[in-house]
Structure 1
């Protein structure tokens, strides 16, 4: 098969037609070779004369090759992806990395929202203002929560990303209710006890919600009231929460990849 493929590629470089390629092989082998040619065409290893102008002459980046594996081209794919407006709730190390990863991936249609109870206090000064050195200048300034809520009532984003780098927060349940009220896809991203928690990806009316997850967790807890009480005060306990920067980077990167897969329809269809 490899010899046949090499011969096909060599012939294709000389712009030989399919029938001429088949003529290079014994009659008994031609049906198999024809199927191989069609497979190479469908996978993009070969292109017809009519499609050659759609191939970019520039050197392909790893990202170009990544999208090619899913039958996509980078520029139109990102244009489509940027039609979805994302709101990242919380100013913390996770949201900072997620915003940077989105930007590095070519996604610009998003805003970070400052929810007071999802603030990582190390990024803020004593007077409550965001430190100048804490937020990259390449990113837009975060929206206040009140401003975001006013805009939400007039023009809803298509997706929420709720972030906390000091464990589960009651704000996530608040966002879960908003997700169902405004029919928003919602992805919680939480760093808890040095473990990254991603999801569940909440699709109102289609998938389990965050309350469903909490109920299932409760069924496996010996001291539910104690655990939930600790979570309800997680904001005030963030000073004793430790994690490695790589934990944040890995979790944030995985979250962005999940967003790209979901909103870009890169996931294989479920049978």
Structure 2
């Protein structure tokens, strides 16, 4: 600051410097506070990772619907798995029963979803059948597929009956057997089994009719719309293919399809 007589005012300059230093200190304090509040940030580009909590047993408040996922597009099993992971993350007990999937010489047995499920509490899986039915025939007999599908149907009935005996309004042990009850049951590819005549569509409806009110049931599969479930389902989603690399000869890829 210059006074009217033209002589520099050293005291005024010192005040200005003090004010600047105070502003800098305030900015530093704000930056420190921001850093303290952003301890969960570990992604680039200013992304923020919300803090995760420990997964402990819990009970859902609004489960009990029937979801149907069908269509010729990729993503039906993937969507069901995503729901399973989400539910397990809230502490709910989830089980995945896969029809027409399992050991086959033509398919690598090490599947990424199984490895991930094994590491996540509250989520378990099993499969019945094998992959020879799906696009790449492996010489397996149709009778064998039908027998395994029938076995899967019986297993689904057992799981639904067990859920009926459990208190699904209460938390369930995350490491417990699915026979002790589950909050969410995924019957993956069961609609393919019905579509191909390995089980009767009425058997699928029977599973829905038998489920307890609080059990969330997800059924997937089939390129043909399962009209027989129109009145039973609460949600029907068609996964439609617009373009798929399989049509150009691309085989299933590790990390995206298995």
TM-score past 0.5 threshold: no
User: When you count helix as a share of all residues, which structure comes out higher?
Assistant: 1
The TM-score by the shorter chain falls in which range? 0.3 to 0.5
TM-score normalised to the size of structure 2? 0.39
Structure with bigger gyration radius? 2
Of structures 1 and 2, the one with the larger relative CO (CA 8 A, separation 6+) is 2
